[in-house]
Structure 1
Amino acid sequence: MKEDSASRFSANAVRKFVDDEAAGKPQPVKLNKVAQQVAAQYRRDTTSPVMVSGVMRLVEFCLLFISGASLFAAYVGFDTRLLWHYPVIIGGTSLLTVILFEVSDLYQIPVLLRPLSKAGRLLVLWAGAFALLAVAGFFLKISSEFSRLLFGTWFVLGFLLVFGLRLVMAQLIRRWARNGSMERRAVLVGGGQAAETLIRALERQPYNDIRICGIFDDRDDRRSPPIVAGYPKLGNINELIEFARIARIDMLIVSLPIAAEKRVLSLLKKLWVLPVDIRLSAHSNQLQFRPRSYSFIGSVPMLDIFDKPINDWDSVAKRAFDIFFSLFGIIVFSPIMLATAIAIKLDSKGPVLFKQKRHGFNNEVIEVYKFRSMHADQSDPTAKKTVTKNDPRVTRVGRFIRKTSIDELPQFFNSLVGSLSLVGPRPHAVAAQSHNLLYNEVVDGYFARHRVKPGVTGWAQINGWRGEMDTDEKIRKRTEYDLDYIENWSLWFDLKILFLTPIRLLNTENAY
């Protein structure tokens, strides 16, 4: 019974609720002055604590390995018959030490803030790695062949370097926390007594990296006070969505009781389009679930509703993927791009490239590059009129490059600079319409596609949904495949889409 209750708030349950409700035509939303000022204050990106602790693991491994390798070069030299044995042993011991630190939770931010209190544990684990090394050498009967002076010196130097690094990092983390460079920014959804209780509980956490940026609530000031525990109510839920488009928010915490199921689902229906973690506070709820159902901020329990897709190290890996394959694509296709530019110039007057404003990550407006395929005086930067078969606006060269998707090749440069990803939901022009309706008016939850960076190619295109968007069904199917991609993203998935793209482009039936 308890697990069934928790599962009600899964992503699928929210999607079903979204699909079951009729989509109303969105109205323009404008933030009040206070909300605008607060949003502007949080425009700058922060460094994730997960990234800091991850980099710390890498730096400590490098520090231990480089110090050991330097001592090897100084004490033993490179003319020994054990030339490759020493680096392997030093590297293995360094890696084992980092693993021991990890399983002992020595990379948690609260631990990194208190290096003196954990110095003893650091020393014991470092000594443990050496003890395992000594035991292995004893049983393999090779310990006498290695320099005891080298490893004795490395034991002392390695500990001093790691401990010194942690003293420096503790000061840096405190400084980053003070100036807002390293924090998780949260907005509370729902005010009143429940929000005040949650805020007080969060404030009591001794090492809390959560910064509450404000409160949003649909209820009026009689039921939801304008100030709760010193934090202002900045607006309603529709205004929260606009606020999160401006401010770099990491988390939304819904401070409503689970028993208010209909109201919670109504809120999630609006909020799931945002690229943030969404948590439901379980601090004051009477229902109790299994411990694994919760995540925690300090000791405050939360139910995980949505996680920000492609976050932290996943985003680093995806960005590296984009840079590598974008450079590869630019090099490989540069002769085709050069020939296309010449053909466009010879075929019609006007610039070679066509720039169009489209929706990017989190609804930001980006400028996407394409080879110009229309007559310059008939180009449609807003894409209000869809290109159709035998469209007179399209040039002779334009028809060919559109059918073969050569017109999209300049987007390798968009991917290289970071406004696009190589793989992701295809970006649409900001004013693109179907039967005089904007796409987000046709598909409820359409903007959930923008929780990740848009791509040069995507899962929808691989499955045949490319070309003219002349029916509402095509828009819905594209959105469906895009959301499926976001939910199931992995680097292997990106690689699969990337290598299938040239094959699927051979089908030019819907490309005009």
Structure 2
Amino acid sequence: MNAPFEPRVLANSGVIADDLIVAPSRQRRRLQCYATLVAGDIVAIFAAFLAVGYLLTGLPGLREGAIHGQLILPIYLALALYNGAYSAAALQEPWKGIWRAFVAIMIGVVALVFIQFLIRPQTDLSRSAFNGGAIAAMVFTASMRLQLRAFIRWRCGMSILNELIIDDGGPQVHIRGAIRISAAAMGLRPNLNDPHALDRIGLVLRNIDRVIVSCPVGRRVEWARMLKGANIDGEVLDNEVARLGAQGARVVGKHGLLMVSAGPLGLRDRAIKRLFDVAFAGTAILILSPLLFVVSMAVKLQDGGPVFFRQRRMGRGNRFFTMYKFRSMTTGLCDLNGNVSASRDDRRVTRVGGFIRRTSIDELPQLFNVLLGDMSLVGPRPHATGSLAGDKLFWEVDLRYWQRHGLKPGLSGLAQVRGFRGATDHEEDLVNRLQADLEYLEGWTIMRDLQIVFLTLRVLVHDKAF
């Protein structure tokens, strides 16, 4: 919290002195960082094409590399400005900015190839130099941006934006890096009938990028009206939003509506996730087909029972689907409702079943669930309706449990790669998984899916599989 100080009021004028300003401006510093990123990207892209051209054909390649750089740079810069590669988010989260730069380079390459196809130049440029330069440009750009992190931190510090919390008697709110002041200590009142009071608040808000006001219900309207004329991103704290899990708000006629649910992924993201699922699952089934055949024969020869275990699980949209696994338990003792989790030395598990459970091979038939569209490679693991955490059903432990069904269930998920798997003997076992699942829903990216798939390969054999 900022140290309290006594504001000075100039005599007979009502003008508040400059010592009410609580933060220096960061706007110029952000602009300097944006300009530095632009210059760094230009240098990185030119250097990449020049380096690849020189490595392939020597000195003549430098001329061709310069031509490639000149052609792609205008397209890249236009796309990068449009997609947020130069934004506060890119300064705050470097990998987000790097990813957006990658997208701009890739789209720029495709656009340039299309343009060359249309105009059909008489002298074709080297494809290997162009493709190699594009790949090198992404590597050089990422490296350059990471090197510039020190400059950005020097100019802007750990926080890119000036965020201010005005405590006016409401609930306590804590945001990392935010400036915190007391409305009472600084004499701030959202009195719309007093221009001097509004001027005082306006001076406090100078150089602030975002303000949050925590006040009692009776003063929220006054603060909201005041903030609308303050030329700033303003928010008023309302814990009802958290209780309802609201994700947005809108006004229809005279009614205010809180959006409490929305599909986690848009059409483009769903298409990308589905293409990834089909391509990976189809390829995996082809490669693993000999293993699938051998395991099928072993399960059948063990006791003559069915090869697959089918169980009704809860999937996306809280709808049931049939999930497939290699049968690992004796036929007569299979638990179709999942009331009893498997335990170490479980007498229901067959000898073959013990091996395929320890190595996660029993889960491989779910690749067919992925192709059918009931499941995804990555997502919250589907649970049987009778699953217990301690002596309670999963949804009895935490009603947020149903929120995890906003996406298709997955073969693996964030909870699994963090080690939250196996039997749920205690309620906290379920809560840990649920927290990870909800975190996954809130921050989906295809890169995170790829990361989880890679990490899953490292934990296929684990000490909680029995």
Normalising by structure 1, we get a TM-score of: 0.44
| Larger Rg computed on CA atoms | 2
Larger RCO (CA within 8 A; separation ≥ 6):
1
> TM (normalized to structure 2)?
0.48
